[in-house]
Chain A
Amino acid sequence: MLAVRDGELDALGELFERHHGPLFGFLVKLTGDRTAAEDLTQTVFQRMLKYRHTYRDDGSFTAWMYHLARRCAADHFRRTNAAPHPTDPAALSERADEAPHAATQATVHDDHALLQTALARLDHGDREILLLSRFQELSFAEIAVILDCSVGAAKVRAHRAVRELRDLYFQLQKQTPA
């Protein structure tokens, strides 16, 4: 990113190739909307270009990228004024896993749909920290910088979010007929 800041814009291509997949994954889970996630991924890279002069070499690039992503998502939610929509189970079947046994696949499919619904019902802040904390690329120290809180507070919030998601997920499982 330092090269991009210094005017070598082609270097952003390398960053795009390396990071757009995980970033897109984060935004899909955060918004529950693939189209919005694609638009937001594009917007994040647009902002990197626009604000490249403000990039400082005092933290990781990944943390800076997720900081921008978080801002973009917040703008998106303000604009649409809506929580993420639970994924349509029919859409999930198009991207099913490795297609094992049909019954297993159906169960996995249901689990994914239920979890996506639970995720969408989670408070926005909880959803955000939970997803950030599941990214192997980010340490809790970096998450704390992104969220502007202490490392301890980030860990506590992440754990609270996991418990909240678990409660919602198992509640939904109980409500769903076997």
Chain B
Amino acid sequence: MNSLSCERVRESFPELLDPRTPAAALGEVREHLANCPACQREFAMLHRTLETLDGLPIGAPSPALRRDFYAMLEEEKHSATSARANAERDFRNRSRRIWRWVLAPAAAAALLLGGFLAGTRYSPAPAPAPIASDETARELRQLKNKVDRLDAMNQLVASALRDEQTQPASERLAGVMTSASVANPGNRVVDELITSLALDPSANVRLRALEALYPLAGRDAVRAGVLASLPRETNPLVQVAMIDFLAAARDREAKPALERMSVNALADQDVRAAAKRALAQL
């Protein structure tokens, strides 16, 4: 046994019992513990207590929690303060878009024009033919280089913008497809799919997420997730797919929402028809 007292060793028990502590840490304490039956008893009791505490069965919250949360979020989004904030944010985003799509090309054109004018204004006065042609040829080469560089830069910017708009969606779609391929998905995978269905800006990704949720329609949380996402959905295609899902899952809790949709004059005609069809099935 090493020189550490039992008291000192027991003071280190919190670190020892903390799963975040690296296995190699607290070498002296571990060494003492390996050789001291009294400390071993004390440690074992604490360990068992915490193990039981960590293992207390909790289970998932009821589907009502998710439904109520999204209802609250919708309500807040439509409140006066949020509406104003949204309007301000949209204005900011629009300004940013204007900058990108109008001002940036305009700036590039101005630069080109500037280069051209500089090239013509400061070109040397007419001189003997051989000298003038050398000078002009050099300036023309410089100007051509500038234009080429600018062109390459524009292509780079356009490609970056294209990537920003397309690549994340395809990556997200790949993510959803990976989640969908899990044989027996746990809560985390299900949560990821429901999050994609509720929040992803791409209708394709949302549709793919919904498709992946079909085999899991027997789970309360899945049906509640789809039902909670339905009022937020704006794309008629996805709305119809969600309604079909709820009808196929025989989710009676969806009835009030479907009844509202079936008579909503602002809803798409196909959506209203799908809601009526689903109500007949339920």
- Encoded as 1 (CB less than 8 Å from any A CB) or 0, chain B from 51 to 88 comes to 01111111111101110111011001100001001101
Whether the pair B53, A115 counts as a contact (CB closer than 8 A) is: yes
User: Quick check: is B46 within 8 A (CB to CB) of the other chain?
Assistant: yes
| Chain B residues within 8 Å of A158, by CB | 14
| Chain A residues within 8 Å of B194, by CB | 17
User: Quick check: is B195 within 8 A (CB to CB) of the other chain?
Assistant: yes
Q: How many A-B residue pairs have CB under 8 A?
A: 112
User: Quick check: is A67 within 8 A (CB to CB) of the other chain?
Assistant: no
A:8-52 near B, CB below 8 Å: 8-10, 12-14, 16-18, 20-21, 24-25, 28-29, 34, 37-38, 41-42, 45-46, 49
Docked CA distance A54–B75 (Å): 20
Given A9-B76, A136-B19, check contact A41 B195 (CB 8 Å): no
A88 to chain B, nearest CB (A): 13
User: Quick check: is A123 within 8 A (CB to CB) of the other chain?
Assistant: no
Partner of A155, one of B14, B45, B53, B187: B14
Query: What is the interface of chain A mostly: helix, strand, loop, or mixed?
Result: helix
User: Quick check: is B17 within 8 A (CB to CB) of the other chain?
Assistant: yes
B192 to chain A, nearest CB (A): 8
Given A46-B72, A136-B20, A163-B46, check contact A28 B195 (CB 8 Å): no
User: Quick check: is B29 within 8 A (CB to CB) of the other chain?
Assistant: no
| Chain B residues within 8 Å of A12, by CB | 73
User: Quick check: is A166 within 8 A (CB to CB) of the other chain?
Assistant: yes
Whether the pair A13, B58 counts as a contact (CB closer than 8 A) is: no
Partner of B49, one of A6, A41, A108, A169: A169
Query: What is the interface of chain B mostly: helix, strand, loop, or mixed?
Result: helix
Whether the pair B76, A111 counts as a contact (CB closer than 8 A) is: no
A:118-147 near B, CB below 8 Å: 119, 130, 133-134, 136, 139
Q: What are 25 contact pairs spanning A and B, CB under 8 A?
A: A6-B89, A7-B82, A9-B77, A10-B73, A10-B77, A10-B199, A13-B70, A14-B195, A14-B199, A16-B69, A17-B191, A29-B56, A42-B68, A42-B69, A45-B69, A45-B72, A46-B72, A95-B57, A96-B57, A112-B57, A115-B53, A115-B56, A165-B49, A169-B49, A170-B45
Known: A37-B61, A116-B56. 12 other contacts (CB 8 A): A6-B89, A7-B88, A13-B195, A17-B192, A41-B61, A45-B72, A49-B76, A97-B57, A112-B52, A115-B56, A136-B20, A169-B52
Identify the 9 closest CB pairs spanning chains A and B, nearest first. A7-B85, A159-B14, A166-B49, A17-B195, A95-B57, A95-B59, A25-B58, A7-B89, A115-B52
- A residues whose Cβ falls under 8 Å from a Cβ of B: 6-10, 12-14, 16-18, 20-21, 24-25, 28-29, 34, 37-38, 41-42, 45-46, 49, 92, 95-97, 108, 111-112, 115-116, 119, 130, 133-134, 136, 139, 155, 158-159, 162-163, 165-166, 169-170
